[in-house]
Amino acid sequence: MAEIKAFCGIRPADGLAEKIGALPYDVYNREEARKAAQKNPLSFLNIDRPETQFEAGHDMYAPEVYQKAHDMLWDMVRDGKFVREAKPCYYLYELTMNGRSQTGIVACASIDDYQNGIIRKHENTRAEKEEDRIRHVDACDAQTGPIFLAYRKNKILEAAVKRAKEKAPLFDFTSEDGITHRGWIIDEEKEKTAIERAFAGIERIYIADGHHRAASAVKVGLKRRMEQPGYDGTEEFNYFLSVLFPDEELMIMDYNRVVKDLDGLTEKEFLDKISKKCILTPETQAVHPVRKGQMGMYLKNRWFRLDMKPEFCTDDPVEGLDVAFLQREILLPVLDIRDPKTDNRIDFIGGIRGLEELERRVHKDCAVAFAMYPTSISELFAVADAQKLMPPKSTWFEPKLRSGLFLHALR
């Protein structure tokens, strides 16, 4: 059963959460990170992307870069810009986007639960992406980016969240992108015990987003275990910072595809091949799929609705995903996209950008775009429960958790 524990959180001092909270480090390229960091010296992005503190050509993976992240973090703690709880607590983190809210419990999860499969994943990770965060966490001696976890709805936890929200929040602000962020502390012993016991009765927890951050946090913990062979399992490095959300509150947005050419086919030849796998219906407006098994396609200034033919569909948890159908029945055999992770002819567009972005790309540098119906949270759970992996770019979660609002020190 899941071990989800309270911790002595490090959080922004009163009135500073809005200035400190920042989008995750990996939503920016290097130049975007530099510009964003320069606009706000208190932004946690300065710590999450410490290369922004050096000249543009500086090696972003040099030891002094990670040391800079450490120094900036702990200088802010010493200067009182962050406060550290005197005793272990849970927290709540609520995000509201377009009138829709989701509330997660901020806590620490066990690296052993990650190792033994109680915490389940649905993506592979790449060693080169892990390495940067391993070095960052190890140098900072703290986890700075929470892992986005999900669990099946639980009445005890639902009641605990409701009670905690009756208190005044620790912070309440709306960021530049229009998303409202609110946080609460749960420090009463009775409430903490109820939450811990409720999670202990949950069989499985799922990584929704942050697979590389999770893998990196676990590897730092294992490294610390090797360095301290007398560890007893209670040390902070045995746990990683997480925000856990009930499944019913989560929204997965579509993750769309654009392809740069038709692999030598004429428009008619391409449509003829597509029609063997899908029922094609020309539309006069942009097509946002309304159900599983349906896609939109934009080709040469025209939108089509594509309804997948049942004989090409399957109940397999992975192959039954709409993105898997697209790859298996269209991208590979028709457009010769063999590996979407490495083929530079395909690109992926998060649903937050809207269908207008698909049209823009087709007009600019692509031949065809596919608008997908979002993968559901139940499909994500099914893939993880089957201990299988989703195709690349299957899920796009919004809103994104801000970094810097809750930190977990490893000592």
Contact 108, 4 (CB under 8 A): yes
Output the DSSP codes for 251-313. Answer: -EEPEEEEES--TT--HHHHHHHHHTTEEEEEESS-----STTEEEEEETTEEEEEEE-GGG-
Q: Tell me the residue length of the chain.
A: 411
> Which parts of the chain have pLDDT scores under 50?
none
**The sheet that has 278-283: what strands, in order across it?**
278-283, 302-308, 294-299, 368-371, 255-259, 346-350
Torsion of CA 68, 71, 73, 76, to 10 degrees: -130
Number of Cβ within a 10 Å radius of residue 369? 23
Please give the pLDDT value at position 98.
93
Q: What is the pLDDT of residues 325-364, one digit of tens each?
A: 999 999 999 999 999 988 999 999 999 999 999 999 999 9
pTM of the model: 0.92
Please give the pLDDT value at position 29.
83
Residues near 213 by beta carbon (within 8 Å), at least 6 away in sequence? 133, 145, 146, 147
Q: What is the pLDDT of residues 158-206, one digit of tens each?
A: 999 999 999 999 999 999 999 999 999 999 999 999 999 999 999 999 9
Q: H-helix or E-strand containing 158?
A: helix 155-164
Please give the pLDDT value at position 180.
98
By CB atoms closer than 10 A (0-12, 13-18, 19+), residue 217 is buried
